[in-house]
Amino acid sequence: MNPYLDILPEVAQALKDGKPVVALESTIISHGMPYPQNVETALNVERIVRENGAVPATIAIIGGRLKAGLSPEEIQYFGKKGPAIAKASRRDLAVLCARGEDGATTVTTTMMIAHMAGIKIFATGGIGGVHRGAETTMDISADLEELAQTPVMVVCAGAKSILDLGLTLEYLETKGVPVLGYGTKELPAFYTRQSGFEVDYQVDTPEELAKAFKTQQALGLKGGMLVTNPIEPQYAMAPDVINSAIDRAVAESVEQGIQGKRITPFLLARVAELTGGDSLASNIRLVYNNAKLAAQVAAHLSEL
């Protein structure tokens, strides 16, 4: 057991008993939306995981401790503190733990801590990827490298549509990460169901997803598996509306010199402003949808 890792008793018992567990990230609480909507959303996601047969484990860093599972009080703490909490990627873990500080886990660090705890399935909104203009900025999310080396299935609504989706898929292919579309052959683009890019395979049931991941592990293959789950049609945004907002937000980020860790929170917040809050509403619904699918896959995986 990692000496810096604390597993919530309910989660630890579920893992010991071989019951399904789903990891959830904490960046969506601290940096994804305002308080108290962030806390309400986080608690709803945990409820949805339970309703679909699994135990939720929200991942975070509190006081230098890696947390696999948060109490409602800890989720409330994260929600109130919000962006004041450091956004923690792989490079930040050692310093945050050494200093005894808090950290909101990204896809990368949620995968890492989930794997330390023995959790195999993780639900999030969208993964990071290759940013637009990366051919000159080299701005590529650590999420892609983590998918290449950490054996966790990530259920998401595709890569965030603020990214260069084509290059993101190329990068994942280079790293040998299988990209599966749930009920679709087309990569969903976070707020919308279409991107114009194809995934590696279409998979139509949670059972088939669980079997594919179990087989990947049995083969001894390194790395994770990416499941892209399209946002439900009634909550999807019109591609021209969301793409126009994204283009404007990206242009503004360049004008203001926003880079690194600040870029994704800035773009998501600005897109929400430009769409009158519609993108935030879509964001919440797609997270709920991913939590449901992840719990169903985890339940089937526990039976294999």
Residues acting as catalytic residues: 25, 160
* Triad 155, 159, 162: Cα angle to 5°: 150
CB atoms within 10 A of CB 277: 10
Q: How far apart are CA 240 and CA 174, in angstroms?
A: 30
Residue at token pair 């601290």: 30
Under DSSP, the state recorded for 82 is G
Q: How far apart are CA 203 and CA 7, in angstroms?
A: 32
What φ, ψ does residue 5 adopt, rounded to 5°? -100, 130
Element at 41 (helix H, strand E): helix 37-51
Beta bridge partners of 163: 131
The answer to whether the beta carbons of residues 23 and 57 sit under 8 Å apart is yes
Under DSSP, the state recorded for 234 is G
CB atoms within 10 A of CB 257: 7
What φ, ψ does residue 224 adopt, rounded to 5°? -100, -165
What φ, ψ does residue 26 adopt, rounded to 5°? -110, -10
